Amino acid sequence: MNLTADTAVRIEFDRDLIAALPASGPRYTSYPTADRFYSGFQAADYSAALRARPADAPLSLYIHIPFCNTICYYCGCNKIITKDQSRADTYLRYLDRELALQAAHWQGKPELAQLHFGGGTPTFLDEAQLASVFDSIRRHFTLVPHGEYSIEIDPRKVSRDTVLFLGRLGFNRMSVGIQDFDPRVQAAVNRIQSEAETRTVIEAAREAGFRSVSVDLIYGLPHQDTATMRRTLEQVLSLDPDRLAVYHYAHLPHLFKPQRRIDTAAVPDSSLKLDILQNTVHMLDERGYVFIGMDHFAKPDDELARALENGRLQRNFQGYSTHADCDLVAVGVSSIGKIDRVYSQNEKDIDAYYAALDAGRLPVMRGYVLNDDDVLRRGLIQDLMCRFALDFADYLPADGSASFQEAFAAEWADLQPLAQLGLLELDEHGLTVTPKGRFLIRNIAMVFDAHLRHRQSSVSYSQTV
């Protein structure tokens, strides 16, 4: 069975079906999901995995910068709001120390296939601070011309010159936070950002030779409706982004304190949110963007769309990617790395993060070691999320003792109603997700999540759409 996804398949938005199915589920940036990580996982477990990896294999690197200048009321991220630039100097000294501790596990300077600066706000750092992080990176890695080096940009704080500087440092991809251009929506979420300053950043990225520019939008914010979102989309599309991510806003003020500053009465209800999403999907489809999966869209010639087409698409903690099969080293407070069968998460509290490094320890807070069943299901869920298909032959017991249907009997039973609803097609060899099932891929992936199946605790997940 050929596990590539035809990007010419146009997404079908079946509003009634979407409304009828369970609305929350994991985003599967990892399997098992991060809520299964346990605190008994030690730095020694992570060190053992790092030491065991092939010395010449390329690596991905994630750098977390937790600081933001101001707070966006919708935000559920782990961040530190401050205007004190010197806090970043302290943080970068610890970041350098952590990188050195991690790099002590490998020989030489492995090739850096992928680099991502995320946050918080990576562009909280000034040019000297950004350059110092790159000095740290160059001490331990070899940057390569074909590497994918990306950074999350907040245009409110970034000039054309800074973008050109980022290009000279080595960045070649960026994702630009927009969320919404409507002035009333922006005021309600405390994120005032003009189209002009956003355009300056994107045009500078093109001038600097960035190969892909992605923009982030959010639907479900206060005062949004179909008309406001259409206007925002028109403005966004005039910027000609290579990729768009359209995230769902979950209003959970009991979980996220900043959201208490949002007027709940102004938040669109679920029916209006579906209308907004439906219009958004249709508009992006009409303009020729390919649905990649979950909440991501890309131009047909973008490498993400090409990766979907040729079966190379992957998923990791940063979302969809073309290099996520590399081991991922993550540095910084709260960051999550993946080395073969091991996930490891750093301390979420900055003082605990500093204290571990002061003691000469890796700041590991929790993690997870996958067993054989987890590894099998991780591959299976990856195939569903990134290829919209399964070849059962890839997931048969090694001793040939059972068919797929026997080995996954409970899952097989749970797939039948989804097949009857038209989300997928089954035959004796495999599973293919239909165009209308693609939008509900998380609901299909959840069938194979053994931890979700056996979960005793109640865990809150985000909306599947």
By the criterion CB under 6 A, which residues form the site for ligand SF4?
Answer: 68, 71-72, 75, 77, 79, 119-121, 154
Residue 358: is it exposed, middle or buried by C-beta count within 10 angstroms (0-12/13-18/19+)?
exposed
Please count the other Cβ atoms lying within 10 Å of the Cβ belonging to residue 197: 15
CB of 29 to ligand SF4, least distance (A): 17
Instruction: Give bridge partners of residue 345 from the DSSP assignment.
Output: 336, 366
Q: Please identify, using beta-carbon distances, which residue of 70 and 235 lies nearer to ligand SF4.
A: 70
With contact defined as beta carbons under 8 Å apart, do 325 and 58 qualify?
no
Shortest Cβ 431–ligand SF4 spacing (Å): 36
Q: Minimal distance in Å, beta carbon 37 to ligand SF4?
A: 22
DSSP of 395-432: GS-TT--S-HHHHTHHHHHHHHHHHHTTSEEE-SSEEE
Read off the amino acid at residue 414.
Answer: D
Cα(212)–Cα(148) distance, rounded to whole angstroms? 10
CA distance 186 to 73: 10
Please measure the distance between the N-terminal and C-terminal CA atoms of the chain and give it in whole angstroms: 29
Cβ nearer to ligand SF4, comparing 75 with 137: 75
Q: How far is the CB of 219 from ligand SF4 (least distance, A)?
A: 15
How far is CA 392 from each of CA 4, 19, 108, 386, rounded to the nearest angstrom? 15, 30, 40, 16
Separation between Cα atoms, residue 389 and residue 150, nearest integer Å:
29
Please name which of 221, 320, 212 lies closest in space to residue 273, comparing C-alpha atoms.
221
CB atoms closer than 10 angstroms to residue 359: 8
Choose between 330 and 447: whose C-beta lies nearer to ligand SF4: 330
Between residues 60 and 334, which has the closer beta carbon with respect to ligand SF4? 334
**Angle in degrees, CA 382, 385, 390, rounded to 5:** 70
CB of 378 to ligand SF4, least distance (A): 28
Q: Measured from the CB atom, is 91 or 392 closer to ligand SF4? A: 91
Q: Measured from the CB atom, is 3 or 71 closer to ligand SF4?
A: 71
Nearer to ligand SF4 by C-beta: 71 or 164? 71
Give whichever of 98 and 216 is closer to ligand SF4, judged by the CB atom: 216
Q: Which is nearer to ligand SF4, 200 or 314 (CB)?
A: 200
Helix 127-140 vs helix 86-103: crossing angle, to nearest 10:
10
In the complex with ligand SF4, which residue's Cβ is closer, 70 or 322?
70
Least distance to ligand SF4, CB of residue 72, Å: 3
Q: Which two tokens stand for residue 437?
A: 């099932």
CB of 190 to ligand SF4, least distance (A): 9
CB of 371 to ligand SF4, least distance (A): 34
Show the CA angle centred on residue 65, arms to residues 63 and 69, nearest 5°: 160
Smallest gap from residue 251 Cβ to ligand SF4 (A):
15
Across the strands, what pairs with 207? Answer: none
Is 32 or 119 the residue whose CB approaches ligand SF4 more closely? Answer: 119
Minimal distance, residue 345 CB to ligand SF4, in Å: 18
Instruction: Specify whether the CB–CB gap between 464 and 21 falls below 8 A.
Output: yes
Q: Shortest Cβ distance from residue 75 to ligand SF4 (Å)?
A: 3
CA distances from 407 to 32, 389, 425 (A): 19, 18, 19
